[in-house]
Chains A and B, each alone.
Chain A
Amino acid sequence: MSDNLDIQENPLSDAPEMDAEAKEAAANAAEYEHGWSAEIDTEFAEKGLTEDTVRFISGKKGEPEWMLDWRLKAFRLWEQMEEPDWAKVGYPKIDYQDAYYYAAPTKKVELDSLDDLDPDIKAVYDKLGIPLGEQEVLAGVKGAKKVAVDAVFDSVSVATTFREELKKAGVIFLSISEAIKEHPELVKKWLGKVVPQRDNYFATLNCAVFSDGTFVYVPEGVRCPMELSTYFRINAENTGQFERTLIIAEKGSYVSYLEGCTAPMRDENQLHAAVVELVAMEDAEIKYSTVQNWYPGNSEGVGGIYNFVTKRGLCQGDRSKIRWTQVETGSAVTWKYPSCVLNGEDSVGEFYSVAVTNNFQQADTGTKMIHNGKGSRSTIISKGISAGKSNNTYRGLVRVGPNADGVRNFTQCDSLLLGDECGAHTVPYIEVKNPGAQIEHEATTSKISEEQMFYAQQRGLDEEEAVALIVNGFAKDVLKELPMEFAVEAQKLLAISLEGSVG
């Protein structure tokens, strides 16, 4: 499977340069709102990456032998691989031996309720404006709808809530570390089946050193009674983050999963290489929503997260459906293509994306829709917003296999430019091996016009409010696909991300 899934090399890619003068000009631009660091004791693995590091991580987590073997196999593969350079992003060479690969909060306790949460960690959430308590209040107001939060803090889960209710429904919602111990048969069956160990450099690295993440299993016919949610946060200096998520939706089941994150300010670049695997069986549906707000670096392009993520969903069963919705505002460098492999007949893949880049951010993101099943359909809606001196690339692949009759795809890529020093690029790859496929691609590039700005300002909005309004309008087709709780947060995030980008 893996050979089929690699995105095509882009021979035209080149790395944008950052010159000192340009940096200076952006110096007055927006500062990161969530830029602070909480003081929580952290236990590190030694710097660098060797077989011993992999053994240390596995041992620290008390993993069974088969898991360690799996990690070591990946590590040996990774040693033979080369870092890819086809994306339209440029960054200093990463010294993989000069990073930490494991950090865990030392106060690790099982909690009965959120009240027992480490006060420091609680304070972190409060500062972020996403306190766990608020989620419960929100749920109360909205009646039956609840949000379960599995708080991943610095690589290790420290709080899990609503577990009882989920248990009643038969839904398994655990950290991946727990799942390895409690449900080894499920993990063994699916781990690495959607994103194979040798898939790509960063995914392989993740296989070797993944720290923690989430595991969800929804049994046949079960509609998950609440939105599942995880907040990620990097909190230790120089700590590579390697989240691993696996979601399995059995026949006729449904689950909606929300992932959101933000990180504190610091100067050194941090590598984040997550792997997310989704499996949807017959008639199953998975919605995976992300609001990504990793630290993007300061206004001069210093620091910020490198976000090299592999996300892929397998629509294995007939009439199965996977929808990716993402709002990407953070990270210095983003390399991310949430994809769907549509094996089932009449299966459906959807990708809704808003990617915002400001200052010196670089984003190369998009999706792959691999149509193998007859009558499979996909929709791609991508909205790229570039400001400052940033670069924003949509890169997407629509592939139709020879046996996939009656395939349909609709792709719309819109780019919005703020100012005249940023870049927007669209790189669609289309490979059709079945003549019956119906593929549509639409693309637009526009600028926020002076006329629009003046119109909104004349009605009473200040400059930043006017930009926020226009940008949110531009991104509306995507934002409306987000669950309510996220949509509000996402709108605010768009406005915050673009602060200082006008005038």
Chain B
Amino acid sequence: MLKIENLHAETAGKAILKGLSLEIRPGQVHAIMGPNGAGKSTLANVLGGKPGYEVTGGSVEFMGQDLLDLDPHERAAAGLFLGFQYPVEIPGVSNVQFLREALNAQRKVRGEEPLSGGEFLKLAKEKAGLLGMDMDMLKRHVNVGFSGGEKKRAEMVQMGILAPSLAVLDETDSGLDIDALRVVGEGINAIMRPQGGAADKGVLLITHYQRLLDVVKPDLVSVLADGRIIETGGPELALRLENEGYDAVMAENLGAAA
């Protein structure tokens, strides 16, 4: 569903991604790990289409479309969801209003009928329930006064409501305590790989730590370093990184390449 080939991108004149290739198939959870400054957040921002990031080479195909050719809102309507590391506050706008407008805007682009207020509230209630969030919280303004954990939880509720086919989650686990991490992790599972549901969704999980991967079991783990994927393996790769550190894996990889 997502095919990134030899992607080069820069921001503020500095090359960050230097030939990154990666593929995600329906049903896959693909974890991206790597040291700070490797380009993990840049990858997420480039996929989302954030202004200020310039693609200088390579291609990204998403659901049969040239992703890089789409505006950010068109990417969302096509089924791409970005889980933000630092979710933004929008004062004066309730989560309910924000998400209903966003969902209906997406539906409009897709040529679908808008959801009525009642239909939307029913959906919102159900998805919030998955993350242990009550409606009072959804009536509050977007991320205003939310704790770090609440913000991440709200991101997952948004994901549940917008029902994307691909979720790119940028360090969703940062700033979470153990309990919140479990709730969010189980939320990701419930939304993106529902039990008994069709395995047609993909997740690109950007993280530093093994602990989220204990809950959201990845199919593949890749190591991103200096703007490139230097190694891809199964879940055991994440465990090795946890035990041996990035340096060891990177050194080995560089040695093999030499």
Contacts and interface: CB of A to CB of B under 8 A. Distances in A.
Interface of A: 449-452, 454-463, 465-466, 469-470, 472-477
Interface in B39-68: 48-52
Contact of B99 (A451, A459, A472, A477): A459
Nearest to A446: B91
A365 to B, nearest CB: 21
Interface in B60-94: 71-73, 75-77, 81-82, 84, 87-93
A454 B93 contact: no
| Residue of B91, B106, B141 contacting most chain A CB atoms (<10 Å) | B91
A459 B88 contact: no
Contacts of B91: 473-474
A298 to B, nearest CB: 28
Given A450-B51, A473-B141, A461 B105 contact: yes
Contact of A452 (B49, B90, B162): B90
B82 A458 contact: yes
A459 B92 contact: no
Given A461-B101, A473-B91, 13 more contacts: A454-B51, A457-B49, A457-B71, A458-B48, A458-B73, A459-B76, A461-B102, A462-B71, A462-B73, A465-B73, A469-B93, A470-B93, A473-B90
Contacts of B87: 455
A353 B98 CA distance: 23
A461 B73 contact: yes
A454 B48 contact: yes
Interface residues of B, number: 33
Contacts of B50: 454
A474 to B, nearest CB: 6
A449 B91 CA distance: 12
Please give me the 10 A-B residue pairs with the lowest Cβ-Cβ distance, nearest first.
Answer: A473-B92, A473-B93, A476-B92, A460-B106, A459-B102, A457-B72, A455-B88, A460-B76, A460-B102, A460-B105
A458 B84 CA distance: 10
B115 interface: no
B20 interface: no
Contact of A458 (B72, B93, B103): B72
A132 B182 CA distance: 57
Contacts of B158: 459
A450 B52 contact: yes
B248 interface: no
Given A450-B51, A454-B48, A454-B72, A460 B92 contact: no
A392 to B, nearest CB: 18
Contacts of A470: 90, 93
Interface of B: 48-52, 71-73, 75-77, 81-82, 84, 87-93, 97-99, 101-103, 105-106, 109, 141, 158, 162
B92 A462 contact: no
Nearest to A462: B73
Q: Is the interface of A mostly helix, strand, loop or mixed?
A: helix
B101 A465 contact: yes
Contacts of A463: 71, 73
Contacts of A454: 48, 50-51, 72
Contacts of B97: 469
Contacts of A477: 92
A382 to B, nearest CB: 15
Nearest to B89: A452
Nearest to A466: B73
A457 B88 contact: no
Nearest to A477: B92
Contact of A455 (B81, B90, B105, B141): B90
13 contacts: A454-B50, A456-B98, A457-B71, A458-B75, A460-B109, A461-B105, A465-B105, A466-B73, A469-B97, A469-B101, A472-B92, A472-B93, A474-B91
Give the interface centre of B51, B88, B89, B99 by most chain A CB atoms within 10 Å. B88
Nearest to B158: A459
B98 A469 contact: yes
A465 B105 CA distance: 9
Contacts of B89: 452
Contacts of A455: 84, 87-88, 90
A452 B98 contact: no
A473 B101 CA distance: 13
A460 B49 CA distance: 12
Contacts of B103: 460
B90 A456 contact: yes
Contacts of B92: 472-477
A487 B85 CA distance: 35
Nearest to B99: A459
A460 B80 CA distance: 10
A156 B113 CA distance: 45
Nearest to B105: A460
A64 to B, nearest CB: 51
Contacts of A475: 92
Contacts of B93: 469-470, 472-473, 476
